């Protein structure tokens, strides 16, 4: 693998002295050359001694530091300077590979960081930090070349000492000469060429002094948050090291298996508090050259942990604390939020979550404290750092008057996920990023158990269906989706590791854990996890280690029997992308499996896919749960699943939707289920009514069954009183492909007539609740989740009472904005209020938006402004957006917002064509990528494509024209496919109204 962008810089002490005597003109040349190197890190000559880092001689800007003398080697020749041209590239070597060579094993880090954040100086355009680190390592292979991770750091000192005496780290030892230091930027390596080889089995110290930048616009490495608290502008610093950002903060061995202990020291302004993984050990004072006083906070030694869990925060937050089983839990947040009680829910629930998991696994949380901090802005939502959990405040804070279970359940889920990581990830860490799902999948799965523990009335299976399974089944398919366990060594750059933190790692990983729990009894499942966690505590594990402990638990009992080993079963799921469609012929009992493809082609067979799955078949017959069976071949016969001619004979596969697959039936199987739904829908559990709708529409959309088969399942809906089942029906029946195309309007009166007569009963139930006591829904988490789509559809279908309810709520709110619109339907009510109103309502809402500070609420208001049915209002809206400066809409592309509405998409299209220059100047030429979709949403003929292509040809360069044309052709194909599908839906509706 080539290192196309690697470069290197070499220095020595001798040459440093020579450089010190050069003229000012030569210094200016050096500055210019440094600029040419761009982001390349630099090694600088040592200047003066620094305490705390043995052997370094690091000068920190603005710092006055005195300490013990550095080690004096008996024979340590100065490194020779190697000059290099700008286009120099290293030869091929270990720096070409994503993983470090196994030459050194880190044992301990002494890490000191000094960010220069001052509460009285928040206007600095860039903020620097300095640091130094002693890394104690053990050599495993004789080598005269060292590699460790470093990225966007500058260096002032690089030294290697050793070998260390076996009895103490502080013994006087010699210095290993460092001849050259250079950087392989592709894989973020710092390379040290030594004057002599290190000895296998011996320990050494790497002493490094460095500096870097505190970032402002991203949550990577060390980063800043600016915010307002108690009426003042303030700032804080926090860290995010996962997956590979520790190397942006300090030089290190930045791989999850290279665990070590850490002694962390943070130097900070006395007006701030410093937090890290462990409790504070000591504080002292340091005075810099300007006479400013800084606080030096040291922390206790951490347990063995990977670099990605190193954490720190420097802030002036307040906190609330609780004690759980003798260990302190502190939640830190803005002082305003502390005073308002917004952290109370989090601080009261976190301790019991720890206790629940301690009791479940019979393994105590090993750290003496836990700090949790709520950041005003954190891109990652939450991070599980050992002892210092970092959250975005939206995911942690609950306003004292917010009684909705929906919000509480969300916060509970996020906290549960991060606390779950204290065992899955922190105590036992995956050996390499290939198995990151062992961290994220199990943490995601145990969210479910914790929510059920604290809210036992919530339907566990339905929550998992909506929160986890539903989303990943929409994304996963056999051809392009990746396996849960992915080969990472072949990645060409470190940034690809970030891409592993996706829906497959989290959601599919949780589905794997749930399926495993399903075909084992829970006693075996938990015992296996206990054994796994105990065996690999403070260490690392791979997927096979987990399977081995499950197999041990299986072998120790004789209740649960499997068709093969746990490894064979689970490897069939984790090493291939996609999932199977399991089809049962109820006449013959023949069951087969095949991969689920998007838009299955007639000639595509199982032969196109490498493997089958070993599928656990959980099933129910005539309302009674049946013993588990296994489908471990492409086709098998199960005589017990054959059905008689009786109307009451029916079968459903995948009981409780525990398995990760979709289910199909032959024509008779679907007919039997339809008959049962129409006769007595409650005989089929809610989770399976959801499953039937979800599977049938997904299978019909992708050519496994006819659309008419899915539509037959909706005939019984007049008897359906579960709003979450209605939600699943509506998201499949009424979606953008139905609404967007003008040619689809023929289906509207048919849908209206078909659905309204079935919807009246459940509408009356929920409209009464909304009018009389919406608080009655506060504990019905899934109803709150479903209510918006339900009300939106009822109003779209023209249900008079729905429109009247929207007008009532909007007018009450307009008369008194303190009279809140019920949160679950706020977006729908605002949209309908504007759609049914005039420019009076529109102008009021715009004024309200301009005075709104809440980002989430502002998004709802902008969407509502685009709901007007008046083209002149929408045109005025877009003109306002591109002419007013500064824009009150920040970076939101108002043309795209308008184009999302039914009327707005045509107005936006004309506006864009007539005002392209002004739109381009306002939003930038790159905005066309999004706007091409606006233009193409109704394209269904070559003539329409040509018309749009003609317009685009006048405003785009050649490359952009080619890309836009390809998008338009793809949209035309998709629109034509939808048009055919909708025509068949219309025909069926006509027959069944």
CA–CA gap between residue 924 and residue 917 (Å, rounded): 10
Which of these is catalytic: 418, 447, 720, 728? 418
Q: What is the number of domains present in the chain?
A: 2
108 is in an annotated binding site: no
Tell me: do 301 and 427 sit in the same domain. no
Return the pLDDT at 152.
95
**Mean pLDDT to the nearest integer, 259-287:** 97
Task: Say if CB 967 and CB 726 are below 8 A apart.
Answer: no
Look at residue 773 and tell me if it is in a domain. Answer: no
**Final residue belonging to a domain, choices 308, 335, 352:** 308
Task: Say if CB 505 and CB 436 are below 8 A apart.
Answer: yes
CA–CA gap between residue 765 and residue 782 (Å, rounded): 16
What CATH number is given to the structural domain containing 452? 1.10.390.10
**Final residue belonging to a domain, choices 274, 308, 342:** 308
Q: Which of 169-173, 409-413, 481-485 has the lowest mean pLDDT?
A: 169-173
Task: Say if CB 259 and CB 337 are below 8 A apart.
Answer: no
CA–CA gap between residue 896 and residue 893 (Å, rounded): 6
**Extended strands (E) in 301-453:** 312-315, 318-324, 327-333, 369-375, 382-383, 388-392, 428-430
Look at residue 146 and tell me if it is in a domain. Answer: yes
H or E element that contains 509: helix 509-519
Look at residue 265 and tell me if it is in a domain. Answer: yes
Q: For residue 496, is the peptide bond before it cis, meaning its omega torsion is within 30 degrees of 0?
A: no
**Residue 418 a catalytic site member:** yes
**Residue 589 in tokens:** 């009992």
Nearest to 622 by CA among 650, 652, 585, 586: 650
Look at residue 235 and tell me if it is in a domain. Answer: yes
Per the document, the length of the chain is 993
**Mean pLDDT to the nearest integer, 959-966:** 78
Look at residue 608 and tell me if it is in a domain. Answer: no
| 622-649 pLDDT tens trace | 999 999 999 999 999 999 999 998 888 9
462 is in an annotated binding site: no
Residue 502 structural domain: 423-575
**Extended strands (E) in 870-944:** none
Look at residue 493 and tell me if it is in a domain. Answer: yes
CA–CA gap between residue 43 and residue 157 (Å, rounded): 7
Q: Which of 334-343, 469-478, 854-863 has the lowest mean pLDDT?
A: 854-863
**Mean pLDDT to the nearest integer, 752-760:** 94
Return the pLDDT at 908.
87
Look at residue 414 and tell me if it is in a domain. Answer: no
Collapsed DSSP state (helix, strand, coil) of residue 19: helix
Return the pLDDT at 105.
98
Tell me: do 432 and 291 sit in the same domain. no
Return the pLDDT at 404.
67
Look at residue 234 and tell me if it is in a domain. Answer: yes
**Final residue belonging to a domain, choices 290, 308, 326:** 308
- 226 — phi, psi (to 5°)? -105, 140
pTM, rounded to two decimals: 0.87
CA–CA gap between residue 85 and residue 7 (Å, rounded): 9
440 is in an annotated binding site: yes
Residue 745's contacts (CB-CB under 8 Å, 6 or more residues apart) are none
Name all contacts of 293-299 with Cβ < 8 Å and 24+ positions apart: 294/114, 294/267, 294/268, 294/269, 294/270, 295/267, 295/268, 295/269, 295/270, 296/265, 296/266, 296/267, 297/265, 297/266, 297/267, 297/268, 298/263, 298/264, 298/265, 299/263, 299/264, 299/265, 299/266
Return the pLDDT at 739.
65
Nearest to 985 by CA among 711, 756, 783: 711
Tell me: do 173 and 302 sit in the same domain. yes
What CATH number is given to the structural domain containing 121? 2.60.40.1730
User: What percent of the chain shows pLDDT beyond 70?
Assistant: 87
**Mean pLDDT to the nearest integer, 821-849:** 93
């Amino acid at each position: 693998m080539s290192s196309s962008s690697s470069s290197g810089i070499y220095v020595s002490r001798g040459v440093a002295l020579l450089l010190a005597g050069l003229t000012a003109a030569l210094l200016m040349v050096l500055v210019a050359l440094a600029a040419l190197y761009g982001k390349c890190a630099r090694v600088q000559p040592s200047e003066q001694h620094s305490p705390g880092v043995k052997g370094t001689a690091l000068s920190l800007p603005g710092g006055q530091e005195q300490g013990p003398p550095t080690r004096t080697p008996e024979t340590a020749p100065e490194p020779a300077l190697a000059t290099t041209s700008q286009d120099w590239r290293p030869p091929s070597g270990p720096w070409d590979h994503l993983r470090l060579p196994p030459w050194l094993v880190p044992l301990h880090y002494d890490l000191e960081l000094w960010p220069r954040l001052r509460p009285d100086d928040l206007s600095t355009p860039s903020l620097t930090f300095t640091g130094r680190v002693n890394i104690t390592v053990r050599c495993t292979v004789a080598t005269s070349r060292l590699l460790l991770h470093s990225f966007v750091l500058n260096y002032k000192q690089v030294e290697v000492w050793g070998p260390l005496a076996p009895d103490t780290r502080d013994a006087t030892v010699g210095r290993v000469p460092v001849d050259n230091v250079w950087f392989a930027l592709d894989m973020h390596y710092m390379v040290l060429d030594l004057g002599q080889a290190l000895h296998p089995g011996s320990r050494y110290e790497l002493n490094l002094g460095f500096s870097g930048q505190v970032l402002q616009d991203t949550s990577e490495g060390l980063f800043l948050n600016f915010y307002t608290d108690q009426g003042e502008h303030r700032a804080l610093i926090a860290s995010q090291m996962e997956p590979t950002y520790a190397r942006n903060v300090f030089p290190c061995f930045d791989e999850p298996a290279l665990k070590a202990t850490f002694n962390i020291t943070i130097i900070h302004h006395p007006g701030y508090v410093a937090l890290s993984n462990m409790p504070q050990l000591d504080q002292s004072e340091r005075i810099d050259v300007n006479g400013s006083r800084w606080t030096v906070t040291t922390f206790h030694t951490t347990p063995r942990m990977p670099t990605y869990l190193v954490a720190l925060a420097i802030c002036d937050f307040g906190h609330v604390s609780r004690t759980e089983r003798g260990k302190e839990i502190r939640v830190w947040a803005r002082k305003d939020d502390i005073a308002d009680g917004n952290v109370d829910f989090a601080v009261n629930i976190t301790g019991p979550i720890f206790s629940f998991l301690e009791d479940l696994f019979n393994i105590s949380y090993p750290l003496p404290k836990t700090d949790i901090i709520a950041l005003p802005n954190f891109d990652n939502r939450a991070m599980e750092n050992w002892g210092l959990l970092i959250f975005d405040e939206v995911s942690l804070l609950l306003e004292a008057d917010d009684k909705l279970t929906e919000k509480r359940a969300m916060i509970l889920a996020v906290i549960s996920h991060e606390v779950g990581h204290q065992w899955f990830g922190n105590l036992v860490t995956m050996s390499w990023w290939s198995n990151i799902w062992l961290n994220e999948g199990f943490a995601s799965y145990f969210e479910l158990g914790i929510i059920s523990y604290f809210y036992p009335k919530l339907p566990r299976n339905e929550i998992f269906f909506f929160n986890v399974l539903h989303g990943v089944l929409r994304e996963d398919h056999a051809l392009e989706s990746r396996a849960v366990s992915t080969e990472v060594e072949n990645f060409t750059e470190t940034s690809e590791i970030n891409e592993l933190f996706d829906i497959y790692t989290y959601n599919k990983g949780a589905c794997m854990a749930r399926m495993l729990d399903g075909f084992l009894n829970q006693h075996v499942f938990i015992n296996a996890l206990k054994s796994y966690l105990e065996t690999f505590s403070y260490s690392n594990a791979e997927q096979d280690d987990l399977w081995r402990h499950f197999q041990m638990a299986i072998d120790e009992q004789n209740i649960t029997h499997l068709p093969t080993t746990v490894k064979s079963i689970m490897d069939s799921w984790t090493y291939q992308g996609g999932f199977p469609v399991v089809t049962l012929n109820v006449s013959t009992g023949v069951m087969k499996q095949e991969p689920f493809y998007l838009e299955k082609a007639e000639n595509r067979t199982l032969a196109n896919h490498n493997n089958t799955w070993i599928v656990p078949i959980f099933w129910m017959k005539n309302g009674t749960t049946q013993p588990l069976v296994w489908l471990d071949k492409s086709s098998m016969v199960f005589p017990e699943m054959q059905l008689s001619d009786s109307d009451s004979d029916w079968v459903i596969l995948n009981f409780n939707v525990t398995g990760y697959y979709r289910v199909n039936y032959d024509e008779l199987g679907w007919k039997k289920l339809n008959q049962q739904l129409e006769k007595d829908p409650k005989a089929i559990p809610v989770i399976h009514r959801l499953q039937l709708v979800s599977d049938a529409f997904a299978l019909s959309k992708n050519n496994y069954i006819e659309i008419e088969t899915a539509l037959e399942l909706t005939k019984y809906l007049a008897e359906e009183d579960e709003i979450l089942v209605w939600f699943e029906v509506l998201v499949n029946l009424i979606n953008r492909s139905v609404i967007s195309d003008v040619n689809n309007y023929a289906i509207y009166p048919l849908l209206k007539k078909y659905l309204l007569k079935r919807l009246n009963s459940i509408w009356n139930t929920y409209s009464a609740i909304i009018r009389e006591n919406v608080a009655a829904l506060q504990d019905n988490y899934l109803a709150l989740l479903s209510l918006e789509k339900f009300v939106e559809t009822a109003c779209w279908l023209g249900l008079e009472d729905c429109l009247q309810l929207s007008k009532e709520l909007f007018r009450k709110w307009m008369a008194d904005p303190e009279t809140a619109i019920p949160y679950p339907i706020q977006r729908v009510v605002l949209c309908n209020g504007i759609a049914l109103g005039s420019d009076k309502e529109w102008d009021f809402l715009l004024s309200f938006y301009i005075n709104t500070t809440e980002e989430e609420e502002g998004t709802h208001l902008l969407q509502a402004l685009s709901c007007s049915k008046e083209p002149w209002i929408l045109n005025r809206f877009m003109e306002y957006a591109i002419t007013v400066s500064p824009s009150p809409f920040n970076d939101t592309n108002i043309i795209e917002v308008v184009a999302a509405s039914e009327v707005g998409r045509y107005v936006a299209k004309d506006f864009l064509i007539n005002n392209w220059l002004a739109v381009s100047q306002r939003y930038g030429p790159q905005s066309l990528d999004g706007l091409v979709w606006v233009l193409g949403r109704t394209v269904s003929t070559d003539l329409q494509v040509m018309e749009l292509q003609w317009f685009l040809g006048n405003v785009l360069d050649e490359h952009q024209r080619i890309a836009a044309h390809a998008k338009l052709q793809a949209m035309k194909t998709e629109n034509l496919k939808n048009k055919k599908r909708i025509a068949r839906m219309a025909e069926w509706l006509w027959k069944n109204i």
